[in-house]
Structures are given as C-alpha cells and as structure tokens.
Amino acid sequence: MEITKLDHVNVRTTQLNNMIRWYTEVLGLASGKRPNFPFSGAWMYAGNQATVHLVEINGDAGVGTEAQLKLEHFAFSANGCSEFEHRLQTQNVKYRRAELAEVGLIQINVWDPDGNHIHIDFPDNE
C-alpha cells in the first residue's frame, strides 16, 4: 500500500450553516452531494472531490486548544494567490502569509469560524 494524497478532513461543528458559508465564501469550496447519513452535515467540494466533511453536533465540538491540540491544521494546494489574498482582504478575514523560498511556496494561513487552522499553499512563481 502507498498513500498518495489526502482525501478529506472531517470537521465537527455546532454552527453548520456558518461553516458552510465560510468554506464557500472564503475558500471557494462548493457544498455538494452527500450520503443520507442519520445526522446533519455537509460535504464541501474542491472540483469533484469532497475535501471537507462537516458534521453538525450538539454540545462540545471537541475543538482543541493551543495547549492540547486535536488537529493542528490541514492544507490545500492551490493556484491564484493574489486573487485569494484579495478575497481575504475584501471580506476582512484575518490571515497570515509565509513565503517559504526553500520549498518554493507561499503559504496563506486562515482559521475557520470554529478556529480550525487551514493553510493554502501556492507556488511562489505565480
């Protein structure tokens, strides 16, 4: 067996509609087809791939803290860094930019409404 790519990330949330809106408006993912599970949720698509599975829960979503992380971050590869930064600025979304010349990447770090850390990696030659 050889693992070749990340398939999806499952995120538990108490604010499903707000998370769907954020992943759509900020990251540009699309809510799409999802199996008929016995619980509420949404699958957020990048193209034809359901990359983020949101699961609605009641009560504690189980989010970690800086002292006790459950998941530090997940990442996407993308193109169009300047367009994405413009979107973040237009929507007043807090982000952190890191230029990683040694690996040829520009990394944009954002946090969703539940505080999950996501970074989007862009080639630095765009």
**Residues 6 or more apart in contact with residue 96 via CB below 8 angstroms:** 108, 109
Domain ranges of the chain: 9-59+73-123
* Full-model pTM: 0.81
- 9-59+73-123, superfamily in CATH? 2,3-Dihydroxybiphenyl 1,2-Dioxygenase, domain 1 (3.10.180.10)
Q: Under DSSP, is residue 16 helix (H, G, I), strand (E, B) or coil?
A: helix
Q: Where are the beta strands (DSSP E) in the chain?
A: 9-13, 30-32, 41-46, 49-56, 74-77, 96-100, 105-111, 117-123
pLDDT category of residue 2 using cuts at 50, 70 and 90: low
| Pairing outcome for strands 105-111 and 96-100 | antiparallel
pLDDT surpasses 80 at 63: no
Q: How far apart are CA 72 and CA 33, in angstroms?
A: 28
How many angstroms separate the most distant Cα atoms in the chain? 46
